[in-house]
């Protein structure tokens, strides 16, 4: 009868325990190969079926097959299996960290969070409106003198560039005043752009209308 034999001097379970994991004859309650107290793999010869799989997968070449006449395992070895196998089965459950409990938001915390979000939303809206108004005024003065007959300015593209600058610069302003931009989604940025565009368009149009009416008078 062939059984696996492990050369203790070559066995290195600190880096590998493949023979323990992949032995096809092992059972949860009755392992064929286990890690002994000397930190070396040990074979229970009376349970080994001699398949030789452990010989092939051992990276240290520490396992070889040998012939035996009697399959009875030493009493001390069998006792060690009984003592150590259950402890290895229960070790993961003892050392596994318990999942951290999820923090449940209290009514006070929820109220404070909503208040903070509302304040930030008002601040962002005010910044968009102010920048849009300033961009409209700047567009009016930078786009060139208005034609007295048609009311058209010669360089309206400059006004569009000023509008884009007013939208883009808001990200930097939010970072300076410590508004968390990581929480802003696509809808939030679309809202910022829309409010900036609306106030820019209204202020520039009002300036053009006022100037045109004054020239006509």
Q: What is the CATH number of the domain that holds 41?
A: 3.30.70.20
* 127 and 196 Cβ atoms separated by less than 8 Å: no
Q: How far is it, in rounded angstroms, from Cα 46 to Cα 71?
A: 4
Claim to verify: residue 74 and residue 111 sit in the same structural domain = no
Residue 41 lies in a domain: yes
Claim to verify: residue 141 and residue 76 sit in the same structural domain = no
Claim to verify: residue 118 and residue 171 sit in the same structural domain = yes
Higher pLDDT: 85 or 117? It is 117
DSSP E strands, the chain: 2-6, 33-35, 41-43, 63-67
| pLDDT exceeds 90 at position 103 | no
Place of tokens 């045109």: 212
Higher pLDDT: 96 or 215? It is 215
Residue 28 lies in a domain: yes
| pLDDT confidence of residue 152 | 84
Q: How far is it, in rounded angstroms, from Cα 195 to Cα 133?
A: 10
The two tokens of residue 214 are: 């004054």
| pLDDT exceeds 90 at position 123 | yes
For residue 82, give its domain range.
2-91
Claim to verify: residue 35 and residue 132 sit in the same structural domain = no
Range 182-207 average pLDDT: 94
Claim to verify: residue 81 and residue 167 sit in the same structural domain = no
Residue 14 lies in a domain: yes
Of 91, 125, 160, the position where a domain reaches its end is: 91
| pLDDT confidence of residue 169 | 96
| pLDDT exceeds 60 at position 89 | no
Total domain count, the chain:
2
Claim to verify: residue 152 and residue 210 sit in the same structural domain = yes
By mean pLDDT, which of 35-49, 131-145, 170-184 is the weakest?
A: 35-49
Claim to verify: residue 207 and residue 118 sit in the same structural domain = yes
Residues shown for the chain: 217
Residue 113 lies in a domain: yes
Claim to verify: residue 116 and residue 76 sit in the same structural domain = no
Residue 150 lies in a domain: yes
Residue 99 lies in a domain: no
Residue 98 lies in a domain: no
> Angle, nearest 10°, between helix axes 186-216 and 107-142?
40
Place of tokens 């053009």: 208
| pLDDT exceeds 80 at position 72 | no
| pLDDT exceeds 70 at position 88 | no
| Residue 37 pLDDT level (bands cut at 50, 70, 90) | confident
Of 64, 91, 118, the position where a domain reaches its end is: 91
Q: What is the pLDDT of residues 140-176, one digit of tens each?
A: 999 988 887 787 888 989 999 999 999 999 999 999 9
Claim to verify: residue 78 and residue 178 sit in the same structural domain = no
Place of tokens 């399959």: 71
Q: What is the pLDDT of residues 3-23, one digit of tens each?
A: 888 888 888 776 677 888 888
Q: What is the pLDDT of residues 54-68, one digit of tens each?
A: 888 888 888 888 888
Residue 178 lies in a domain: yes
* 35 and 88 Cβ atoms separated by less than 8 Å: yes
Claim to verify: residue 85 and residue 111 sit in the same structural domain = no
Claim to verify: residue 8 and residue 63 sit in the same structural domain = yes
| pLDDT exceeds 70 at position 109 | yes
């Amino acid at each position: 009868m062939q059984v696996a034999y492990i050369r203790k001097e070559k066995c290195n379970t600190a880096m590998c325990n493949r023979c323990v994991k992949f032995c096809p004859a092992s059972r949860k309650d009755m392992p064929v190969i286990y890690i002994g107290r000397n930190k070396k793999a040990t074979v229970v010869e009376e349970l080994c079926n001699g398949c030789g799989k452990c010989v092939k997968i051992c990276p240290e070449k520490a396992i070889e097959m040998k012939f035996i006449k009697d399959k009875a395992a030493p009493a001390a070895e069998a006792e060690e299996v009984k003592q150590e196998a259950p402890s290895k089965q229960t070790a993961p459950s003892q050392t596994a960290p318990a999942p951290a409990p999820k923090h449940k938001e209290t009514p006070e915390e929820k109220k404070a969070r909503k208040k903070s979000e509302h304040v930030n939303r008002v601040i962002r809206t005010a910044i968009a409106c102010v920048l849009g108004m300033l961009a409209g005024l700047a567009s009016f003065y930078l786009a060139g003198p208005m034609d007295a007959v048609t009311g058209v300015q010669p360089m309206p593209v400059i006004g569009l560039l000023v509008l884009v600058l007013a939208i883009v610069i808001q990200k930097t302003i939010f970072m300076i005043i410590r508004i968390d931009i990581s929480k802003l989604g696509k809808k939030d940025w679309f809202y910022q752009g829309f409010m900036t565009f609306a106030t820019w368009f209204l202020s520039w149009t009002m300036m053009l209308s006022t100037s045109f009416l004054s020239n006509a008078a």
